[in-house]
Structure 1
């Protein structure tokens, strides 16, 4: 569990949660535990994604994937352990009322489960070797990547005591951001540098997966990326908070090279 959790990575989901807290002028300390819990869920999904039965990858975050080091059975259990322990952390939060804990658990479990990330992964696997439309691909990534990104922002808003309307607007912001994040991933899988990315490039083509560049072409994929980044900012600006850190994350996602 520690091997994969401490292997590095961009930590986008914890950063989104903490940046949302900052937007509401709340202390970062309020969100550290939930941010760690969400990163644990994300890391579990990477361990399982890399397994031979899934994407069969040998490299993650610049290091050998979990099953390459510890074997498949232990990698499966490591992922299971990270997922289940994340909810133990949230349920054990100090100085957070029971209603807020339940709201966090409901939102995060929905985003991670069959209606969210797991469902997106199923659709992604079933879509391998098939020509997909842009709408079908976007639906996959909306759940596989976007839901956990969105709930990171929503969790920061919930901890901050935001209104339901603000939580919904911030969720829309983060969903556009999640689609943009995946489009950028697809682009980097074609033109990125393996050393900078910390994982193999060209794996989408090797696994016969539809991607934004393969469906739209590189120029149109970049246009789609710009569109979702702009829509993310439009939703963000509808919420009367300090946008500084969240806007910086939007710019980072658009410009990142890993």
Structure 2
């Protein structure tokens, strides 16, 4: 358990979160600078995918968890950048014509539109391998954590990214699109626990590993992260119905147009909002024993539920 901390006001929390965002952007820039000898068009596509903004929710969760439990400065930089690189790769591939066929991401043309499909596939592949390279780096400066901890981080991110995590969830999503095959909440929650939730849970787990927390604490943090992952997806589904292109930075209304399995489609808007409130309570209860040390994690949970893009 983290030591009791003095009350932290909302402004101080926001400043800490902003500082982690800056650290993340700097770490991502350094990681891409390390690829400067790559083929120029490929590297440009990688930069396009990573450096044009984004909420940075996953790396922020890594930093917030690590700091809450006393990790030294810099320990969370590599895992935070790694999980964001995996997220970026997944978006590049998700936007492809073979997947969601989207032309807009973060208010900019998607990678396959700005470049071409082959380059987008390669850029996604390269971002994924770069993520694991960061975690496996052997220099203490690159990843100042013990080798066994780095190995555990690799395992956590690999499991969350693969067939039993994000990729598996995407496969379930593709299989359910256009046919109404998902007809109950449990099946829909399983889909999104893999597609969206797995990587968010991995982010919190990476922060916990960076701080060396004990098993019971990791279990409680995972409960928070599981609720957050589901809430994040429900909010995404609601925004696709209620949001606008300029605010979202991507094309709204595509879920309904493609007959995707979503919470509003299955439950309706009011029930989806009620489910969000239940998940918000679950997140607060999971973090309650950690007190003010977990205030930034609680704030990230609130932002996930209340965001407009």
* Residue from 237, 245, 249 that aligns with 1:198: 249
Shift of the 28–145 alpha-carbon distance from structure 1 to 2, 3 Å rule, reads farther
Residue aligning to 1:102? 151
- In the alignment, is the contact (CA less than 8 A) between 2:173 and 2:261 conserved in 1? no
Post-superposition offset of 1:240: 6.4
| Deviation digits for residues 123-169 of structure 1 (CA, Å, limit 9, x no counterpart) | 00001123222111111100000010011011001010101221122
Residue aligning to 1:189? 240
* Residue from 58, 67, 71 that aligns with 1:13: 58
- In the alignment, is the contact (CA less than 8 A) between 2:66 and 2:208 conserved in 1? yes
| Deviation digits for residues 179-217 of structure 1 (CA, Å, limit 9, x no counterpart) | 000000000000012111100000101111021111111
- Which structure has the larger Rg? 2
Find out whether 1:129 has 2:175 as its counterpart. Answer: no
SS, match of residue 87 in structure 1: helix
User: Which 4+ residue blocks in structure 1 deviate beyond 6 angstroms?
Assistant: none
Of 45-54 and 18-27, more deviation after overlay is shown by 18-27
Residue aligning to 1:90? 135
Of 49-58 and 91-100, more deviation after overlay is shown by 91-100
Residue aligning to 1:235? 286
Which ranges in structure 1 are unaligned for 5 or more consecutive residues?
none
Residue aligning to 2:208? 157
Aligned residues: 258
SS, match of residue 293 in structure 2: coil
- In the alignment, is the contact (CA less than 8 A) between 1:22 and 1:245 conserved in 2? no
* TM-score w.r.t. length of structure 2: 0.81
Which ranges in structure 2 are unaligned for 5 or more consecutive residues?
1-45
SS, match of residue 178 in structure 2: coil
Shift of the 181–28 alpha-carbon distance from structure 1 to 2, 3 Å rule, reads farther
1:1-258 equivalent positions in 2, closer than 5 A: 1-92=46-137, 94=140, 95-131=144-180, 132=182, 133-239=184-290, 242-258=293-309
Post-superposition offset of 1:239: 4.6
- In the alignment, is the contact (CA less than 8 A) between 2:220 and 2:286 conserved in 1? yes
- In the alignment, is the contact (CA less than 8 A) between 1:24 and 1:241 conserved in 2? no
| Deviation digits for residues 88-145 of structure 1 (CA, Å, limit 9, x no counterpart) | 1101152211110111011110001110000000000001123222111111100000
RMSD between superposed Cα atoms in Å: 1.2
Distance 2:136 2:261 in 1: 39
SS, match of residue 57 in structure 1: coil
Post-superposition offset of 1:23: 0.8
Post-superposition offset of 1:26: 2.7
Post-superposition offset of 1:74: 0.5
